[in-house]
């Protein structure tokens, strides 16, 4: 029997001992893994116009331990961590960033961009986790600041994921200070904000 078959059988034995609730969570996570594989192997996810190819990926979840966490005022109520997040029933690996009661939450990365990057993009999803009771009068703002400039902002007042691919300054051979910001806009109740699978992607133009 192959090593792979041994691993599969061991997984099935562990699954048999799970509760019904855990089986539901497992099914959601398997759907997430399948979606992730499809995204990584889909040319359209990396090369929208066919003239670019990826040469570098910086995964913000993998480098979470290197990031600096801060609140602009009192950090009371702020929570920042990495964990799977379910938004609209779809589970993704995510950075949880519940803002504080007062001020905003800032998660800062310092990233050295390779010298040969022609185009720098950021791919991610902004979400509010299932169970949050947001409304039009109680929203959470997501912002992306790069080297001191706000380059993107988004409001959410309901659960679910919104996916984005942003064009950033190339910043080749430079250190980029990347800040993920969540703002409760005066009301942090139910601000269950999460960043799904955030990645910086460095691309180069393909030779004709």
Strand pairing report for 160-168 and 68-71: unpaired
Note the pLDDT of residue 21.
72
How many percent of the chain have pLDDT more than 90? 67
Whether residue 139 contacts residue 132, with contact meaning beta carbons closer than 8 Å, is answered with: no
pLDDT in tens, 32-70: 555 555 554 444 444 456 688 888 999 999 999 999 999
Whether residue 199 contacts residue 177, with contact meaning beta carbons closer than 8 Å, is answered with: no
Note the pLDDT of residue 51.
82
pLDDT in tens, 136-193: 788 999 999 999 999 999 999 999 999 999 999 989 999 999 999 999 998 999 999 9
Average pLDDT over the chain, rounded to whole?
A: 87
Q: Which own/partner pairs from 18-27 qualify as long-range (CB within 8 Å, at least 24 positions apart)?
A: 25/91
Whether the predicted pLDDT of 126 surpasses 70: yes
Whether the predicted pLDDT of 5 surpasses 90: no
Q: Which tokens sit at 21?
A: 């609730």
């Amino acid at each position: 029997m192959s090593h792979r078959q041994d691993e599969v059988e061991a997984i099935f034995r562990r699954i048999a001992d799970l509760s019904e609730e855990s089986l539901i969570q497992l099914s959601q996570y398997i759907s997430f893994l399948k979606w992730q594989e499809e995204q990584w192997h889909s040319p359209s996810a990396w090369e929208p116009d066919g003239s670019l190819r990826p040469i570098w990926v910086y995964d913000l979840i993998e480098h979470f331990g290197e990031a600096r966490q801060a609140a602009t005022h009192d950090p009371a109520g702020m929570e920042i961590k990495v964990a799977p997040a379910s938004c609209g029933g779809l589970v993704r690996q995510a950075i949880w960033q519940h803002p504080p009661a007062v001020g905003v939450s800032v998660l800062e990365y310092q990233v050295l961009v390779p010298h040969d990057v022609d185009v720098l993009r950021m791919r991610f999803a902004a979400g509010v986790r299932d169970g949050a009771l947001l409304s039009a009068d109680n929203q959470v703002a997501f912002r992306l600041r790069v080297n001191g400039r706000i380059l993107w902002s988004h409001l959410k007042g309901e659960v679910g994921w919104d996916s984005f691919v942003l064009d950033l300054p190339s910043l080749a051979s430079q250190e980029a200070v990347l800040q993920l910001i969540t703002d409760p806009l005066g009301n942090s109740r139910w601000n269950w904000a999460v960043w799904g699978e955030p990645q910086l992607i460095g691309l180069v133009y393909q030779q004709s």
